[in-house]
Amino acid sequence: MTVSVEISNDVATIRIVGSFNYSSASEFQQVCDSVSPTVSRYRIDLAQASMVDSAALGALLNLRRRLADVDIDIDIDIENPTLQVRKILEVSRMDKKFNISAR
């Protein structure tokens, strides 16, 4: 699996390809750390993420919490999850903390 980031116009787009799980969660974390604090919006593109596990949800929540800690009101959009991934996001009610948009 790979995590890549692209920044344009203050928007950081993080793309996850493959299985978003325990081992890739730390890579995701590192990528997030590398993003400058000046971005105003995060887009997490899950179009090519084959599955997510609880560690991945934890990594997403951690990003949310860290941004909240420094008191920045930043939108985090989760985009294009596959049906299976979308179901996992729904069961854990991630929609309460993120904007989830279908493909």
Partner 1 sequence: MKILVVDDQAANRVLLSYLLEDDGHEVIEASNGEDGILKFQRDEPDLVLLDVMMPGVDGYEVARALKSHKTRHVPIIFLTALSDDVSLSRCIESGGDDFLTKPVNETLLAAKIKAHERIRDLNAELTTKNQELEQLHKLLRQEHDLAEYVFDTAIKGGLNHSNVRHYLSPMGGFSGDVILSETSGRGTLFVLLGDFTGHGLPAALGALPVKQAFTNLVREGANVGEIATHLNQTLFEYLPGHMFCAATIIEYNPVTLKAICWLGGLPDMFHLGTDGCIRHNIRSQHMPLGVLSAREFRNAVVNLQLEAGERLFLYSDGVTDCCDVHGEMLGEQRFELMFNGSISGDELFDSIVTRVRSFGSGRPQDDDVSMLEVMAIPGEPLSNGYELEYLPNDFSFSWCLELPQIQDNRVFERILQSWASHPFFQARKDDIYEALECICFQVLETHYLDVDADLVGADMNREQRVEIRHQSLLRATEAKLALIISFNATNMTLEITAAPVAMKDADPAALVRRRLSF
Token pair in block for residue 73: 């009101």
Token pair in block for residue 63: 């990003």
CA separation for the pair 38, 41 (Å, rounded): 9
Q: How far is the CB of 44 from partner 1 (least distance, A)?
A: 15
Closer to partner 1 by CB, 13 or 62: give it: 62
Where on the chain is the footprint of partner 1 (CB under 8 A)? 22, 25, 29, 53-55, 57-59, 61-62, 65-66, 91-94, 96-97
Q: How far is the CB of 19 from partner 1 (least distance, A)?
A: 12
Closer to partner 1 by CB, 18 or 58: give it: 58
Q: How far is the CB of 90 from partner 1 (least distance, A)?
A: 8
Closer to partner 1 by CB, 8 or 30: give it: 30
Tell me, letter by letter, the H, E, C secondary structure of 30-88. HHHHHCCCCCCEEEEECCCEEEECHHHHHHHHHHHHHHHHCCCCCEEEEECCCHHHHHH
CA separation for the pair 32, 84 (Å, rounded): 24
Q: How far is the CB of 8 from partner 1 (least distance, A)?
A: 27
